[in-house]
């Protein structure tokens, strides 16, 4: 199995690039943000709960998010591997992910961090707001909060994966195609 954590701040291009990796490496794309948005759209109990946090640019509590992740992994027993997009975002989530995968006889192969400067992130999120309809993209204060939450709670995960020799940084600037090509090259090299 090939299991990749795609890491990076909001607006780094994780969702877009995850789609490219899914096709090339035949992986199952697991985005906790997408699952939360699906639940919000369908007005489920989970959706109502998640919306309260997401609309403020805060993280949904670990307990809820980890449970959701486990159920998504369980829904895909035939998967040849996963690309985790937007998960883990905290150390307890990363520990839970290791446990879930170990129980299934597999593990994370690599964590790829898309490296993008802050000014570029804010610009991308503002542009995305025009088409995504996402409330958390539309408000500069919420964007600022999401980037801060990323720096405080998620960025330290770099160490978690670095200590396991699994952290790889990729330049996230340029065209979508440029970045995809860099990712393919990086993954192929890591697997060689």
Active site residues: 14, 89, 128, 134, 146
Which residue sits closest to ligand AMP, CB atoms considered? 33
Q: How far is the CB of 177 from ligand AMP (least distance, A)?
A: 22
The strands making up 110-115's β-sheet, listed across from edge to edge, are 28-31, 81-85, 2-7, 110-115, 167-171
Which residue's CB is nearer to ligand AMP, number 133 or number 188?
133
50 vs 37: CA distance, rounded Å: 8
Q: How far is the CB of 53 from ligand AMP (least distance, A)?
A: 5
Which stretches of the chain bind ligand AMP, using CB under 6 A?
10, 32-33, 36, 53-54, 57-60, 65, 86-87, 89, 93, 136, 146
- Distance between start and end Cα atoms, the chain: 15
73 vs 87: CA distance, rounded Å: 12
Which residue's CB is nearer to ligand AMP, number 15 or number 81?
15
* Residue 140 buriedness (CB in 10 A; 0-12 / 13-18 / 19+): exposed
Which residue's CB is nearer to ligand AMP, number 59 or number 114?
59
Q: How far is the CB of 93 from ligand AMP (least distance, A)?
A: 6
Q: How far is the CB of 156 from ligand AMP (least distance, A)?
A: 14
Determine the 3-state secondary structure of 62 from DSSP: helix
Please name the residue ranges forming H helices in the chain: 14-25, 32-41, 45-54, 62-74, 91-103, 118-132, 135-138, 140-149, 157-162, 176-191
Which residue's CB is nearer to ligand AMP, number 29 or number 89?
89
């Amino acid at each position: 199995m090939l299991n990749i954590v795609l890491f990076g701040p909001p607006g780094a291009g994780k969702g877009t690039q995850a789609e490219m990796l899914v096709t090339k490496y035949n992986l199952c794309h697991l985005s906790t943000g997408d699952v939360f948005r699906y639940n919000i759209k369908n007005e489920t109990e989970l959706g109502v709960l998640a919306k309260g946090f997401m609309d403020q640019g805060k993280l949904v509590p670990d307990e809820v998010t980890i449970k959701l992740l486990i159920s998504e992994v369980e829904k895909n027993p035939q998967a040849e591997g996963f690309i985790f997009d937007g998960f883990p975002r905290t150390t307890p989530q990363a520990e839970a992910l290791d446990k879930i995968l170990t129980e299934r006889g597999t593990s994370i192969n690599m964590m790829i961090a898309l490296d993008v400067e802050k000014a570029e992130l804010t610009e991308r999120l503002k542009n995305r707001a025009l088409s995504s309809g996402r409330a958390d993209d539309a408000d500069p204060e919420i964007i600022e909060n999401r980037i801060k939450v990323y720096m405080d709670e998620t960025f330290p995960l770099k160490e978690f994966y670095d200590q396991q020799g699994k952290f790889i940084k990729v330049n996230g600037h340029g065209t979508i195609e440029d970045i995809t090509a860099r990712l393919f090259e990086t993954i192929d090299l890591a697997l060689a």
